[in-house]
Every structure is written in structure tokens, then in C-alpha cells.
Amino acid sequence: MALSDRPPGATRRVELPGARVLLIRPMHTEDAPGLVSLFASLDDDDVYCRFFSGHPPPESFVERMARVDERGGFGLVAVLDAPGQESRLVGEASCELLPDGNGELGITVAGGARGWLGPFLLDALVEEAAARGIAGIEADVLVLNRRMLSLLRSRGFAVLEHSDQPAIVRVVIATTGRAPAWPGPHDRPRLLLEVPGGRSSVLDAAREAGFQVLACPGPGDRWSHCPALRGEPCPLVTGADLVVDTLPDDPERSLLEAHRRLHPSIPVCVRLPRAGDADSLGRHLSVPAGDDTVIGLLQRLAGVDPATGRLQRPGR
């Protein structure tokens, strides 16, 4: 049976070297003691990365986590069976249902299973979410948690927001396809900012001005992961009212040209200037990156009523 054909709640069984067997199955309330043991085995850094706290969570928190299905979400646990040993819970992944229809990710892997179980467990959670009709998975990740950011980046994420105390980035990945989509209906203008690293001062200013904002850090070295560069429409672009492109162009793979070709219904693609850029009119418009008029210009290009901050035309 192909992974994508598994029904919701199916158990995954993997044969491992040394006659070991890994089972990934739905999380139950009876798993709470095993989850407590898993969290107690983590070192201080791992606890902080998982819970943003210096201490493992109390048993009451873990017991509530194990009842995630009662709140419309679901959880998975990874259990390792080895000859002559008791079964051990070596990983967990949970998906709490969010008001926007997406799920929120939490994931833990025991120290001895790092490097191989995390990607497999995330794949299982994403497949389960897709089978349940959950389109996107969101996660808060510490900026210093490079392992987790790399895992999510490998699936192609968009940045929802940043916070500084502590330094956290909130990202979203898709459960199907190569790029996430915008969550839920909207009555605010949607601005997609394509910027290296997924962060720019324009993001905060645009949010304050009433835009709904997502940031795409770009394909980086993973050109094959970008839908537009593969000749496929990108859901982030098709759902936006305006795209601001600040990514450097590759002569062989121009993202701006791909948007022009694949997303002609987007009113304007705007690229903030880089050294040596020349002003031009039409779908490629350069504006002073640090100028206070940028937000006003973006509102005009997106069709926003400056008095209300709302779209003058119906949102898609």
C-alpha cells in the first residue's frame, strides 16, 4: 500500500536492522506515561527547543496532549520493539487543530533516534493531516533550532511571522504539493514577500497597515522545490493580491519571469531595488526600499482603500 493511500489512523510498520520493528501509530491517553519518560530523557537544550521552557512539562500537560483527538486534532507516537527489550516510545508528533483550518505541529525524537526518525515521523504526520483534509501545518520554531528549521525547510515553508523574545519564527508547510497555501477566507489584502531568509522590515510595516502577509524565503539551492521554477502555478502567488520580489535572479531561472508567465492574474509583481537596479514601469516596478511611501504604494498596487485598509475589489 502506498503511503498516500493509507486511511486515517492507520499504523505504519517499518522493519529495521537487528530484527527491530518501528511502529508509528495513533496517540492514545494510555501513552501519557511513555511521553513523560520521553520528555524526561531530553537534555536541557532539547527541552527548551521543544517547549520553550527550561523544564519538561508537568504530567497534566502531557495528559492533555495525549487527548488531542478530543479537540479535533490527532497525535502519533513512534514505538521501537527490539529483541529482548521492552517496547520504548522514542518519538511523538501532534497536530492541534487551529481556527484557520491548519494544524499546529509539535514533535519530539529521543536522542538515540535522531537523524532518521524525525523526517519519517514528520512525513507520517503530514500524510495523516492530508488524509484528514488539513491543508497546512504551522509550527513555532526557535531560530537556534537549526535541525528543526532544516527539516521544515526541506518541505518548502513560508514564514508567517517572527518574534524576538525569544527569537522564534512561525512557519507553515503544505500537506500536499510543493508549497503551502494561504489559510482560510480573508477580507484583508494579501501580500507575499519573496525575501532571502523570510524576514524584512517591510513585513512588520505591512501588517501594521492591515495586510495579511506571508514571506517566502525562496528556493535557495533547492530550485526543484519551487513550483514556479518547475513551470507550475504557486499557491502562494495565486492566492496573493500582490507579490514583492526581492530575491536575486538567476539568469537561468528567473522567478520574476516565471510569475509573469504563470500568474498573469496577479495585478503587479513589485521588486524592491538592489544595487545597480534601474527603474522600470509595468509589472516590474522599483521603489526606494527604505522610503516611507513604500506601504502606500503597495496599498495602491494591491487595490486597497487607504481609508479602510480593505480591498476595493473582492478577495480571491
Q: Which pLDDT tens digits describe the chain residue by residue (316 residues)? A: 344 567 778 899 999 998 999 999 999 999 999 999 999 999 999 999 999 999 999 999 999 999 999 999 999 999 999 998 889 999 999 999 999 999 999 999 999 898 889 999 999 999 999 999 999 999 999 999 999 999 999 888 999 988 887 899 999 999 998 889 998 777 788 999 888 878 877 788 888 888 899 999 887 666 667 888 889 999 999 999 888 887 776 655 678 788 888 988 876 565 554 434 444 333 344 444 444 566 777 777 777 776 776 776 554 4
Closest CA to 25 of 85, 90, 99, 75: 75
Neighbours of 105 (CB within 10 A): 23
CATH 3.40.50.2300 in the chain is located at 177-316
State in Å, rounded, how far the first CA of the chain is from the last one: 37
Pairing of strands 242-245, 269-270: parallel
Considering only the C-alpha atoms of the chain, give the largest distance between any 2 of them, rounded to a whole number of Å.
72
* Residue 299: closest CA among 190, 182, 187, 215: 190
Q: Give span(s): CATH 3.40.630.30, the chain.
A: 1-139
Write phi, then psi, for 30 (nearest 5 degrees): -70, -10
CA distance 228 to 135: 19
Alpha carbon 185 to chain centroid, angstroms:
18
Q: What is the reported pTM? A: 0.85
CATH for 1-139, among 3.40.50.300, 3.40.630.30, 3.40.50.261, 3.30.200.20? Answer: 3.40.630.30
**CATH superfamily assigned to domain 177-316:** Response regulator (3.40.50.2300)
